[in-house]
C-alpha cells in the first residue's frame, strides 16, 4: 500500500503502480545530510550522526564510538555518502542489559496509513546497505513506544548476518505489522527503528517476528561490534517500504533532491543566524529575530552562540521561540552609531 495516492507516471521503476506517489518513510536514507558536522568523536547516548540517525548506548562502560560521514559507498548504486561508526575504545565486557545501536525515530502522524492496531495492519520491509569489519549475526529492532496493550512498549526484532568483513552487502528484512497496538496520530514517536551493534544476553532471548517485551530487543544477536577494538561499521541506502519484498523485488532507493532532503531534516534540527544593526545606547537591549527555514516538529530547544559584534554583549537573552521563528535581545556595551551583533542559533526539535 503506497503512502500517498496522487497521480504520478514515474514510479513503475520503483515497483509501484504508475498512478501512485510514494513519500519515503525514512528521512536521509542516503546519509547525504550532516548538519551537525561530518566528524564527531565520542558520540553521546542520544547523540546524532548524519541527520535523523540517533546513536543509542545503554549500560555501557568504557565504550567510545566515533562518527564520520564518508564517501565509501557500494559501487554503482548512486550513493555518494555513508555513515561510518568506528570503535575508539572497546567494551571489555558486555553487560546483560547493554545495548548499542544506530537508527531513526519516525514521527507518529506520518505512519497512520500503516493501520497498526487493526487486523489490516500492513507488513513492512526494511532494506539497507551495510559494511563492517566484524562479521556475524546482528539484529534490527522496531520499537513502538506508545503501544496501547500491555506492556505499553512493544519490541520487534529480526536477526540478519554480515557474511564478509569489509564488504558492502544489501540486507532486506520483512517486518510483520502490529495488529494489536495503534500508533497515536500526533507529532511524537511512532516507530523507532534501529540496527543493533551489540546486545546483552537479557535482550537476545525473545522470539523473532513477534511484537513483544524487551527480550525481543535483539533476538539472535551474537555479533559484538562494540567489544572489538578499532572496528568499523558503514551504513547507507536505508529504506522502509510498505508491503513485503525480497532482495529482487524491493523498489529502487527513493533518491530525493538536496533541497527536499534538507527541508525534511530541518523539521527536526536546523541552523540559523540572527543579526541586528543600527545606532545603540549603552545598556539598552535590542531585539532581533529570524524566521526558520521550515516549521519544526514542535517548539525547539535553542542554543545561541555569539559570532560577531561591535560594542554589544556577547550573551543573548531568548526573547521568544516558536516552531517557525526565533527572537533574542542583546544589550549594547556602549553608545555609538552603526553598531551590530550576529548570533548563530541551533534549533533542536528531535523526537
Question: Which domains does the chain show, CATH number per domain?
Answer: 12-265 (2.60.120.260), 268-348 (2.60.40.2080)
Model pLDDT for residues 264-307, shown as the tens digit of each residue: 999 999 999 999 999 999 999 999 999 999 999 999 999 999 99
Residue 142, beta-bridge partner list: 156, 193
In the numeric block, the cell 557474511 is attached to: 163
Region of residue 231 (left: phi > 0; alpha: psi -120 to 50; beta: else) = beta
Whole-angstrom distance, CA of residue 163 vs CA of residue 53: 24
pLDDT of 8 > 60? The answer is no
- Give the pLDDT confidence score for residue 341 in this predicted structure: 98
The closest of 174, 156, 316, 158 to 241, measured between CA atoms, is 174
Please list the helix, strand and coil fractions of the chain in percent, rounded to the nearest 5, in that order.
10, 40, 50
pLDDT of 184 > 80? The answer is yes
- Give the pLDDT confidence score for residue 98 in this predicted structure: 98
pLDDT of 9 > 90? The answer is no
Confidence of residue 22 (pLDDT cuts 50, 70, 90): low
Mean pLDDT estimate for the chain: 93
pLDDT of 1 > 50? The answer is no
Q: At residue 282, what are phi and psi to the nearest 5 degrees?
A: -50, 130
Q: Are 139 and 199 in contact (CB under 8 A)?
A: yes
pLDDT of 216 > 50? The answer is yes
- Give the pLDDT confidence score for residue 6 in this predicted structure: 33
- Give the pLDDT confidence score for residue 146 in this predicted structure: 80
Model pLDDT for residues 128-144, shown as the tens digit of each residue: 999 999 999 999 999 99
Q: Which three cell numbers stand for residue 33?
A: 545530510
Sequence-distant (6+) residues with CB within 8 A of 35 are 51, 265, 266, 269, 270, 271
Share of the chain above pLDDT 90, in %: 90
- Distance from the first to the final alpha carbon of the chain: 26
- Give the pLDDT confidence score for residue 2 in this predicted structure: 35
Residue 192, beta-bridge partner list: 105, 143
Sequence-distant (6+) residues with CB within 8 A of 90 are 62, 63, 226, 227, 228, 229, 231
Amino acid at each position: 500500500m503506497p503512502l500517498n495516492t496522487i497521480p504520478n507516471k514515474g514510479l513503475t521503476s520503483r515497483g509501484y503502480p504508475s498512478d501512485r506517489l510514494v513519500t519515503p518513510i525514512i528521512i536521509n536514507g542516503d546519509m547525504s545530510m550532516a548538519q551537525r558536522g561530518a566528524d564527531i568523536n565520542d558520540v553521546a547516548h542520544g547523540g546524532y550522526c548524519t541527520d535523523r540517525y540517533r546513536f543509542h548506548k545503554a549500560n555501557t562502560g568504557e565504550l567510545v564510538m566515533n562518527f564520520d560521514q564518508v564517501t565509501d559507498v557500494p559501487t554503482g548504486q548512486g550513493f555518494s555518502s555513508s555513515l561510518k561508526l568506528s570503535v575508539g575504545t572497546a567494551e571489555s565486557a558486555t553487560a546483560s542489559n547493554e545495548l548499542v545501536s544506530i537508527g531513526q525515530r519516525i514521527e507518529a502522524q506520518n505512519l497512520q496509513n500503516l493501520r497498526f492496531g487493526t487486523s489490516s495492519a500492513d507488513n513492512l520491509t526494511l532494506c539497507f546497505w551495510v559494511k563492517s569489519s566484524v562479521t556475524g549475526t546482528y539484529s534490527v529492532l522496531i520499537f513502538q513506544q506508545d503501544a496501547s496493550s500491555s506492556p505499553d512498549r512493544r519490541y520487534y526484532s529480526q536477526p540478519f548476518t554480515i557474511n564478509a568483513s569489509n564488504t558492502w552487502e544489501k540486507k532486506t528484512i520483512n517486518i510483520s505489522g502490529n495488529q494489536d497496538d495503534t500508533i497515536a496520530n500526533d507529532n511524537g514517536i511512532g516507530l523507532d527503528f534501529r540496527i543493533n551493534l551489540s546486545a546483552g544476553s537479557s535482550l537476545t532471548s525473545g522470539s523473532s517476528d513477534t511484537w513483544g517485551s524487551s527480550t525481543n530487543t535483539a533476538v539472535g544477536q551474537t555479533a559484538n561490534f562494540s567489544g572489538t577494538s578499532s572496528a568499523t561499521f558503514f551504513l547507507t541506502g536505508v529504506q522502509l517500504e510498505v508491503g513485503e519484498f525480497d532482495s529482487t523485488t524491493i523498489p529502487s532507493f527513493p533518491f530525493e533532491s538536496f533541497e527536499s532532503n534538507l527541508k525534511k531534516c530541518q523539521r527536526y534540527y536546523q541552523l540559523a543566524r540572527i543579526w541586528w544593526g543600527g545606532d545603540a545606547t549603552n545598556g539598552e537591549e535590542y531585539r532581533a529575530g529570524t524566521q526558520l527555514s521550515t516549521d519544526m516538529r514542535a517548539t525547539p530547544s535553542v542554543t545561541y552562540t555569539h559570532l560577531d559584534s561591535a560594542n554589544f554583549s556577547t550573551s543573548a537573552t531568548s526573547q521568544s521561540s516558536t516552531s517557525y521563528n526565533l527572537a533574542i535581545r542583546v544589550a549594547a556595551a556602549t553608545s555609538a552609531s552603526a553598531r551590530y551583533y550576529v548570533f548563530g542559533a541551533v534549533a533542536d526539535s528531535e523526537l
